């Protein structure tokens, strides 16, 4: 498969050959669904917590004697049925993350990338040099590319790019090693450098 490589002015400068095994992969919606579910589960912090009757402060003294008062038996004022008592079966800190088979995760990413290519939503650029850490300059450099939400894939060494686009809500710049199915679907267009495409191809082979 051949695809055009563009420069910063959105002009075609050459062709690059992409691997059919990665960028012309069949659409597997069930794998994409599983990859999204896995990604979102792994992002959960799992810090919700409540106190049980053994953790709530106070309640060490028996409220009243066992018999003779006419009231129901009570051993603690911090019982779950009392006001300010403990919580029964409340949430506790837990880890929601789980592992997804590597092959399934890679095939899901291949499927998403292939769909981007089929719909002309993968833009490959020779290089992306901002020159300084300025949001205004980053917007000026990228104005030639028509996009609503843009995912930029380059190297983590390109600090100017990563920092300059951090405050732009419609743009996210990541290293090629951070590419995932969730971001690939969330952003309408993917703008990747030639070096990034080579690294992605090497990993997904």
Tens-place pLDDT, residues 11-29: 888 899 999 999 999 999 9
Residue 163 and residue 204 in contact, taking contact as beta carbons nearer than 8 Å: no
Give the Å distances, CA to CA, from 104 to 29, 33, 41, 101. 12, 11, 16, 5
Task: Tell me which H or E stretch contains 171.
Answer: strand 171-175
Q: What is the mean pLDDT of residues 114-132?
A: 91
Separation of alpha carbons 191 and 158, rounded Å: 14
Q: What is the mean pLDDT of residues 155-182?
A: 92
pLDDT digits (tens, 9 = 90+) for 71-113: 999 999 999 999 999 999 999 999 999 999 999 999 999 999 9
Residue 73 and residue 64 in contact, taking contact as beta carbons nearer than 8 Å: no
Residue range(s) in the chain whose domain bears CATH number 3.40.1370.10: 2-44+99-204
With a pLDDT cut of 70, the percent of the chain lying above it is 100
Separation of alpha carbons 122 and 198, rounded Å: 14
Report the chain's terminal Cα–Cα distance, integer Å.
15
Give the Å distances, CA to CA, from 125 to 47, 63, 81, 111, 191. 42, 74, 64, 21, 7
Residue 197 and residue 124 in contact, taking contact as beta carbons nearer than 8 Å: yes
Smallest Cα–Cα separation from 179: which of 159, 205, 152, 198? Answer: 152
Q: What's the CATH fold of domain 2-44+99-204? A: Ribosomal Protein L4; Chain: A; (3.40.1370)
């Amino acid at each position: 498969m051949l695809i055009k490589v563009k420069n910063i002015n959105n002009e075609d400068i050459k062709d690059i050959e992409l691997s059919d095994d990665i960028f012309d992969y069949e659409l597997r919606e069930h794998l994409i669904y599983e990859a999204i579910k896995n990604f979102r589960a792994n992002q959960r912090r799992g810090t919700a917590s409540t106190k049980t009757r053994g953790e709530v402060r106070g309640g060490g003294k028996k409220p009243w004697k066992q018999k003779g008062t006419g009231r129901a038996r009570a051993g603690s004022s911090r019982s779950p049925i009392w006001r300010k008592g403990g919580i029964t079966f409340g949430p506790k800190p837990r880890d929601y993350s789980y592992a997804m088979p590597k092959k399934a995760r890679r095939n899901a990413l291949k499927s998403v990338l292939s769909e981007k290519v089929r719909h002309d939503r993968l833009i490959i650029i020779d290089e992306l040099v901002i020159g300084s850490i300025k949001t205004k300059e980053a917007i000026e450099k990228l104005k030639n590319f028509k996009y609503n939400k843009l995912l930029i894939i380059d190297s983590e060494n390109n600090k100017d790019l990563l920092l300059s686009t951090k405050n732009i809500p419609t743009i996210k710049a990541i290293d090629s090693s951070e590419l995932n199915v969730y971001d690939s679907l969330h952003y309408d267009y993917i703008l990747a450098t030639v070096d990034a495409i080579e690294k992605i191809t090497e990993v997904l082979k």
